Amino acid sequence: MIKKVAILANGGDVSGFNAVIRAIVKTAENNGIECYGFIDGYNGLLKNDYVKLSTANDQSASGILPKGGSIIGSSTNANVFNYKVEENGQIVYKDLSDICVENVKKDGFDCLFTLGGDGTQKSARDFSTKGINVIGVPKTIDNDVACTEITFGYNTAVSVATEALDRLHTTGETHHRIMVLEVMGRYAGWIALESAIAGGADIALIPEIPYDINKAVKKINKRRKAGKQFSVVVVAEGAAPKDGEITIMGKRDNGVGVDNTKLGGVGQVVARELEKLTGLEARNTTLGYMQRGGTPTAFDRVLSTKYGSKAMELAIEGKYGVLTVIKNGKLDYVSLEDVVGKNTKIGAVSGNTAESNIRRVTMDHDLVKTARNIGICLGD
Ligand code: F6P
């Protein structure tokens, strides 16, 4: 019987982190298991920096269900298998994972819950290979973790984008403008596509479909002929024109062996081109971190709670080296081996690290078909 478990939250934050933490802690407490949280993701694991999480004693994990962010922090630059350290005034990268393994063993943690996206789960798989009992929970607003139909945090991001589109609609209509909304999602267009449908956008440009700007122009002109002098466009940050490149804002410093591309700016590019080609005024709004912060939707609170309680249930059953997932609409789990690595079976493409996969929008997905059926232009 397990007695003591630990949680870490890693990668870019999402709404729902705390709801997962709370669900793990509550399920643990109901089974007489002690729960701890490493501070700032894998950084805390490396430094052996952790706190007790409880709803019964110090109340640290109580009242956190609607709270955005993560009460135990999170880190976007903690690849402990290739960690940045300063040695003799020089920056070098080292594999410090053995220190983490030692920390987990030394303090007697029976299981480690890793809340994170593809990069986090890749490290989780590697810790599992090193003999640590790991259970992953799929997080990211991008909804691109392989093998699951949905990640926690995604629904909130879509809701925020949808509200933004509703607001852009009224100002666009008033001033007869083209309103462009740039949303996040890196190399997967889930947020853009789903919010375009939810927010009644006319055009959605996603990374999976290299766009032809003339197709967007055609759609806008068709609307003008029908008496509609405004249009609403959603652009995913990773969308690129056919025969063109993605728009990059700069570089992140998330370590080596990870994707450090800082995406952003394509919304402005699209707005400028549409203005030039249609003669209508166009404005861009970049939604940015609004999509990640703040309170989770009811859907995300429930999904996060399901994921957290399932993860703890799996730990009690001794099923390790797995990721909680939603498969065919049902709460389930898969081996971390299926989620990361060069796994061609799942048809995913390379994600945040060379060895992690991401789930992208496929052309036969319901969302693509629905968007096309109702006349949303996807730029092709
Ligand atoms: O992966 C989540 C995400 O929000 C992406 O949509 C975005 O490209 C990226 O993180 C931004 O990362 P950072 O927090 O490093 O700016």
Nearest alpha carbon, ligand 1 atom 10: 12
Distance from residue 114's CA to the centre of ligand 1 (Å)? 18
pTM: 0.96
* Residue 43 one-letter amino acid: N
What share of the chain in percent tops pLDDT 90? 89
Question: In CATH, which of 3.10.580.10, 3.40.50.460, 3.30.360.10, 3.30.70.520 is domain 157-293+363-373?
Answer: 3.40.50.460
| Residues forming a β-bridge with 326 | 331
Predicted local confidence at residue 58, as pLDDT: 65
Q: Is the pLDDT of residue 361 over 60?
A: yes
Q: C-alpha angle with apex 156: 153 to 160, nearest 5 degrees?
A: 140
Nearest alpha carbon, ligand 1 atom 12: 12
> What are the residues whose beta carbons fall under 8 Å from the beta carbon of 154, sequence distance 6 or more?
14, 140, 141, 142, 143, 190, 191, 300
The yes-or-no answer to whether 4-152+296-340 and 157-293+363-373 have a common fold is yes
Domain boundaries, the chain: 4-152+296-340, 157-293+363-373
pLDDT tens across 215-252, in order? 999 999 999 999 999 999 999 999 999 999 999 999 98
Let me know: does 145 contact 138? Beta carbons within 8 Å.
yes
Distance from residue 317's CA to the centre of ligand 1 (Å)? 34
Predicted local confidence at residue 347, as pLDDT: 46
184 pocket-lining for ligand 1 (C-beta < 6 Å): yes
144 catalytic? Reply is: no
Give Dmax (Cα) for the chain. Answer: 71
Q: Is the dihedral of CA 235, 191, 10, 332 positive or negative?
A: negative
Predicted local confidence at residue 346, as pLDDT: 44
Residues in the chain: 380
Domain covering 4-152+296-340 in this structure, CATH number: 3.40.50.450
Distance from residue 288's CA to the centre of ligand 1 (Å)? 9
Predicted local confidence at residue 340, as pLDDT: 83
- Pocket probe for ligand 1: among 141, 235, 359, the residue whose CB has the most ligand atoms within 8 Å is 141
pLDDT tens across 35-88, in order? 999 999 999 999 999 999 999 766 789 999 999 999 999 999 889 999 999 999
What share of the chain in percent tops pLDDT 70? 95
pLDDT (mean) for 158-165: 98
Predicted local confidence at residue 252, as pLDDT: 86
Nearest alpha carbon, ligand 1 atom 16: 262
- Pocket probe for ligand 1: among 120, 156, 186, the residue whose CB has the most ligand atoms within 8 Å is 186
Let me know: does 72 contact 37? Beta carbons within 8 Å.
yes
For residues 286, 292, 296, 301, the Cα torsion angle rounded to the nearest 10 degrees is 130
Predicted local confidence at residue 256, as pLDDT: 77
Of 40, 142, 202, 300, the active-site residue reads 142
Q: Which atom of ligand 1 is nearest to the CA of 254?
A: 15
Sheet holding 282-286, edge to edge: 203-205, 231-236, 178-183, 282-286
Q: Is the pLDDT of residue 171 over 70?
A: yes
C-alpha of 103 from chain center: 28
147 in the Ramachandran plot: left (φ > 0), alpha (ψ -120 to 50) or beta? left
**DSSP letter at 294?**
S
